[in-house]
Chain A
């Protein structure tokens, strides 16, 4: 039995010298499809897909259920144009937040009306005017304006207004001149006309006769069982006066749409930090109904992240462009106050999200470098702001195409429910699931009891989750398990949320105004929906029927991804030629052959072309060259009009003609470098009417005459 061993032999051929023209370069093929916002140079764009962006205002549906307790609805009392006039020292109301004033004006109906807000002018102002810039809608704001120059105060009910969706705005500016002739223009910045007394209003000068007394015009508040009692201090000289007050809507607990509104922000539902007392129905053991006073308030509001109560620092929040000098934050009630250390930093990005400038109100940061960028703080460009409306005015022009973010302090009048984000990008559970927010009365802040809770309700109306857990002090644990993981008999999971038929449902057992002693208060039912409509989407897709790559970019696209050539776009609707029956069609250019300017003889060329052909395949070689298509007619006796297609610049058309088919062609005319468009020629040279003539063209390219084109035969017109 023979033994084998295998040899690898390397045959090095003789040294050869060839000059190779390099005409290809290495490309990276497209390997996968990605969706990216900007196209890098190495990629070939294939499709563009755009839909309207997510917006909390449109995608979240909040059904406000707070009508269950009428005391929590201030629609009538807090409406515009409604106030209460009192004369005396104080008043009592069920609600915590009020506006108080003693300044009035005569409105256009010739009635006396109070002005609840004031704008502080710079000290020593001699003259002041208010003017309005508006765009878009006509907005009717409560009228009223009084300028008290000696107090440096403008009393007004005007507020600045901006609608994010329509771009409509109405902004008030105050121009003032002081005694030295210095002028200033600033945004109207309304603050309550009479504010709550604080330590700043107490006279701390030990030598003053009013030492220890409240010297400014303020009010104080104390809460008692009936609600709140407000006492008015008229400064040093107390005395009964005429006051007007108005209840604010922020006294109520209402659900509000999230402050973060774009697809990048978390969508945290907000509840206005109200505090009120209401009479609700409770039931005694014998079934008798009694009216009980219960207080609803949100203790966890105080546990929010206050930097300087009641201000919360908010970094990197979006700002909207209003006009070329004004920006608006996504929320009202900013807390910008440089003298108290609460500054605002404004970051301006251009549309490619590259940082351009940074503005700040903090003079201490002026000309300091921002982080590790090349941008320096500028502290002199923010000139004024409207805290209540959330507007910031700059002394430089800003472009609407830029993107703005700001770090600022805001006065938090709401409780932001941070335990749950409704943004469907961040929280997949949020979409198309109903969440019910409710609150418990008299929540006990010790022991971490929270007032606001939520239920997750599925599409059959069954409760699948609840946030009220074992940490509750005054209320039961409603989750599935207790603290130790054992089954909790009080659980509501699996119970129906509401039902007309079944008595054992959540609303019946727990909430007002049904027959129970819990008196939970349902605030809102919230759903985040996918309201995208295919009709609203803009789609450009190269792969769709009828779409194609622009001629000018075609070469670039193929260079980026040569495989496009093998698609419909590259080879056309019929695709690439793939001959059947193991036949391969070669179309080499005829300029390879030595007769036409090349180097190869025909048999040599054919050998080379077929060299690497698999043995089972047949190769057909079809030599390819430029040749026009000739058409024409003869409408006049003895004249033939020829039309040839244009094949390119810098070509010479040698037109040949013969009268008999077997004869040789004779050169008729040379058309040198015709202009783009059809090449026309009128042949009147010795044509015999009635005879048939044959025409063909040989194109001369780079001095080489290419073979004959297809022959065109025509019979010359004979009118006889």
Chain B
């Protein structure tokens, strides 16, 4: 019986440095209502770099007796829409706290002191524009180079993902109560 943290995934060729499969173990804990802390651990023997987080439509539609209200594509698009509004209004009306009714959506930050970043259409909606996380680590093979957004072997980093419902002005825009299912990918 191999203990879990003794799992190693390497290629057969002795020279290959790349892992065939880069498993990252993700454990979550709930911090407060509306946000969850995820611990991402690098289970391989190599440094994993260029790590980012992005959203995908889920294949999990919830429990059989209480399924999701809308198709996964709808939930995915809605979250990106809210995130985009929030970012736009945050940028445009940064000094005017009056227009706070559109701020909401899914945000992510790296603990302990990262900044919150919204998942928008431009950032975190697919692998190509994933939101980068991790830290800068020196490349063991090349001392002059640094690996960006990397997680060291056997070490972990913590992410906080926070969700807020966009507050609506009851006269114009109301977001109905609903349940959304989204898949967050780290890679």
Contacts and interface: CB of A to CB of B under 8 A. Distances in A.
A7 interface: yes
A8 B179 contact: yes
Given A2-B186, A14-B168, A14-B170, A7 B26 contact: no
B110 to A, nearest CB: 16
Contacts of A10: 177, 179-180
Interface in B169-187: 170, 174-187
A3 B170 contact: no
B11 to A, nearest CB: 14
Interface string A219-246: 0000000000000000000000000000
A1 B21 contact: yes
Contacts of B36: 7
A16 interface: yes
Given A11-B165, A12-B165, A13-B175, A4 B185 contact: yes
Nearest to B179: A10
A2 B127 contact: yes
A5 B174 contact: no
A12 B165 CA distance: 7
B60 A6 contact: yes
A180 B55 CA distance: 114
Given A8-B62, A13-B165, A14-B170, A3 B23 contact: yes
Nearest to A10: B179
B150 interface: no
Interface in B130-187: 161, 163, 165, 167-168, 170, 174-187
A9 interface: yes
A7 B161 contact: yes
Contact of B26 (A3, A9, A12, A14): A3
Contacts of B175: 11, 13-14
A6 B177 CA distance: 20
B24 interface: yes
Contact of B183 (A6, A12, A13): A6
Contact of B177 (A1, A2, A8, A13): A13
B46 interface: no
A11 B181 CA distance: 11
Query: Which of A3, A11, A12 is the most central at the interface, judged by chain B CB atoms within 10 Å of its CB?
Result: A11
Contacts of B22: 1
A14 B184 contact: no
Contacts of A1: 21-22, 187
A428 to B, nearest CB: 45
B106 to A, nearest CB: 7
A8 B28 CA distance: 13
Interface footprint category on A: 10 to 19
Nearest to B175: A13
Contact of A4 (B56, B161, B180): B56
Contacts of A7: 36, 161, 163, 181-184
**Which secondary structure dominates where chain A touches chain B?**
strand
Contact of A13 (B23, B58, B168, B186): B168
A143 to B, nearest CB: 86
Contacts, number: 76
Nearest to B185: A2
Interface string A1-35: 11111111111111010000000000000000000
Nearest to A12: B177
A3 B28 contact: no
B187 A3 contact: yes
B38 interface: yes
Interface in B34-86: 36, 38, 54, 56, 58, 60, 62, 79
Contact of B38 (A5, A6, A12, A13): A5
A16 B182 CA distance: 26
A2 B21 CA distance: 10
A314 to B, nearest CB: 59
A5 B183 contact: yes
B187 A9 contact: no
B179 A9 contact: yes
B182 A9 contact: yes
Contacts of A2: 54, 127, 185-187
A600 to B, nearest CB: 16
Given A11-B165, A13-B175, A3 B24 contact: yes
Contacts of B167: 14
A8 to B, nearest CB: 6
A2 B185 CA distance: 6
Contacts of B79: 9
Given A1-B22, A11-B175, A6 B185 contact: no
B28 A6 contact: no
Given A12-B165, A13-B174, A3 B179 contact: no
A9 B23 CA distance: 25
Contacts of A13: 165, 168, 174-178
Interface in A563-611: none
Nearest to B20: A1
B187 A6 contact: no
Contacts of B23: 3
A19 to B, nearest CB: 15
A19 B4 CA distance: 56
Contacts of A11: 163, 165, 175, 177-180
A667 to B, nearest CB: 39
Contacts of A14: 165, 167-168, 170, 174-175
A5 B170 contact: no
A451 B174 CA distance: 94
25 contacts: A1-B187, A2-B186, A3-B23, A3-B24, A3-B26, A3-B185, A3-B186, A3-B187, A4-B56, A4-B184, A6-B184, A7-B36, A7-B163, A7-B181, A8-B179, A8-B180, A9-B163, A9-B181, A10-B177, A11-B165, A12-B165, A12-B177, A13-B174, A13-B178, A16-B174
Interface of A: 1-14, 16
Given A2-B127, A10-B180, 18 more contacts: A1-B21, A3-B26, A4-B183, A5-B26, A5-B183, A7-B161, A7-B182, A7-B184, A8-B181, A9-B106, A9-B179, A9-B181, A11-B175, A11-B179, A11-B180, A13-B165, A13-B168, A16-B174
Closest 7 pairs (CB-CB, A-B): A2-B187, A2-B185, A6-B60, A9-B180, A11-B165, A13-B177, A4-B185
